[in-house]
Amino acid sequence: MRRFVFLLLMGLSALLRAEVATDSVTAVVRDADTGEPIPYVSVYVSPSCGTISNYDGEFSLQCLPSDVLRITSIGYQRVTCLASELPATVRMKPITTTLRELTVTGPNNILYRLVRKLQKEAGKNKKAVADYFFRMTTQYPGTDELAEVFLTAKSCVQIRDIVFHSGNRGLLKEDGILDAPDLKGLGRTNVHVFLRLAPVLAFYDWWDFAIVPADIVLSRRGKLYDATCTTFTDDDGREIVKVHLTGKPASNSYTILEGTLYVDSKRCEMLRFDGQMKGLYVRMYDSARRRASVDTVGYTMHVDYTRQHGFTEIANMSGTIVKDKVRLRYLLFNLGEKEMTYSRAVPVGENMLKAIDKVGYDSTLWAMTGIVKRTRMEERIAFGDSTFFRTDKSRYDVPPSAQEQGANDYLRKAIGRLKAGAMQLHRGLPPK
């Protein structure tokens, strides 16, 4: 009887809560010392209510005025406040206390124990699936593009087996002529392959030619890295180990991932990784000029991890690819416990943009696009193009130029023959 009364009260509470009007709270998160915006900050209310700040440090969230917002980012002091009292600018204070340096040599060091633990988790939870929201923007002279997608993927340690459920994309064409038409194809590459990359790769597939930090302790390639450790204590009293990974001169002929890994020392759990890819270049083909071009590209990435399901899972991931005036940026956000209902499913193959067009647009899902606030640039693309978010059209009709079509054909064939050596992305320095 008591159990029945309890469940009844819980049901009434949920019903009353649903009937209470929610507000949209908006703020920008900045570093209290420098004033710079802090991207990808976690804003948490509950497993079904949360978001992250965008590239410009801005966030927007639908919640009750009485909800308590927990704003966190590794390396900063936590901010907690009522939604009704949220300031327009949230200033987060950095944690600067460094306690001591640690060794990263020997079989019992933090990296070795971390990688071994992640391998066990990946083997046990390799079928675990999570829902994500994905956004990609591409900018090159004269044209800006935006694509947004709801997807599911295997999520333990790294992203795998991506399936799209609803997507849309728009293009904003400005006056002017493309300065480098043979580079325009860079914006048409399959950026989703970067989502499969993580500091520790549990299942090698597309990235098996790249050397990642796990190789420091699990292979003979440790000679390619220098690794140093420092520690600090966060608001919860956890000792956080910062593992700094840099490539040695011997790594110049390889594609390696450098950066900083944040680990919970006591629990030996991966929390975050900030890094960049070294030795990555892309080969393009200009059909009009009938020549190939090889260009070095810069790629930076950020990954936050969560253990809300009892294993290490991608919470959010972002990356930027830059080549001269071409910029490609993506963001992936774990939807947590939000209830999602999908009517269509399209596995992502060679071409991500084709998969978006094939799966189409689901207006019921798109009521949730405020999950991650768009930047001003992304808003300009989305609302500057009349074909974006039209329920009767999920693609834009802009015929590709001859140069772009040639680049598309080349990249599609290159990715399809990746294992055979016709690689689109290559390791080491480009040939002279």
- Residue 60's DSSP bridge partners are 26
Higher per-residue pLDDT: 181 or 185 = 185
Which of 87-96, 235-244, 278-287 has the weakest average pLDDT? 278-287
Q: Which amino acid is residue 35, in one-letter code? A: G
- The pLDDT, as a whole number, for residue 57 is 94
> What percent of the chain clears pLDDT 70, i.e. is strictly above it?
70
Other beta carbons within 10 angstroms of residue 13's beta carbon come to 10
Name the residue among 319, 380, 306, 311 with its Cα closest to residue 50: 306
Higher per-residue pLDDT: 185 or 312 = 312
Judged by phi (left if over 0) then psi (alpha if -120 to 50, else beta), residue 181 lies in alpha
- The pLDDT, as a whole number, for residue 73 is 93
Name the residue among 137, 167, 143 with its Cα closest to residue 345: 167
Please name the CATH architecture into which domain 19-92 falls. Sandwich (2.60)
- The pLDDT, as a whole number, for residue 178 is 39
- pLDDT score of 270 more than 80: yes
**Long-range pairs of 323-326 with CB within 8 A, sequence gap ≥ 24:** 323/183, 323/186, 323/282, 323/295, 323/296, 323/297, 323/298, 324/180, 324/183, 324/295, 325/140, 325/141, 325/179, 325/180, 326/138, 326/139, 326/140, 326/180, 326/183, 326/184, 326/186, 326/187
- Residue 400's DSSP bridge partners are none
- pLDDT score of 253 more than 90: no
Q: What angle do CA 291, 354, 292 make, to 5 degrees?
A: 10
- pLDDT score of 36 more than 60: yes
Specify burial of residue 266 (Cβ count, 10 A radius: 0-12, 13-18, 19+).
Answer: exposed
User: What's the pLDDT band for 12 if we cut at 50, 70, 90?
Assistant: very low
Q: What is the pLDDT of residues 216-249, one digit of tens each?
A: 777 767 788 888 888 888 888 888 988 888 988 8
User: What's the pLDDT band for 256 if we cut at 50, 70, 90?
Assistant: confident
Higher per-residue pLDDT: 23 or 92 = 92
Which of 98-102, 190-194, 240-244, 405-409 has the largest mean confidence? 240-244
pTM flag (> 0.85):
no
E strand residue ranges, 221-372: 225-233, 239-247, 256-264, 269-278, 280-286, 291-296, 298-306, 313-323, 326-334, 346-347
- pLDDT score of 416 more than 50: no
- Listed by start position, the domains of the chain span 19-92, 103-427
Alpha carbon distance 176, 242 (integer Å): 46
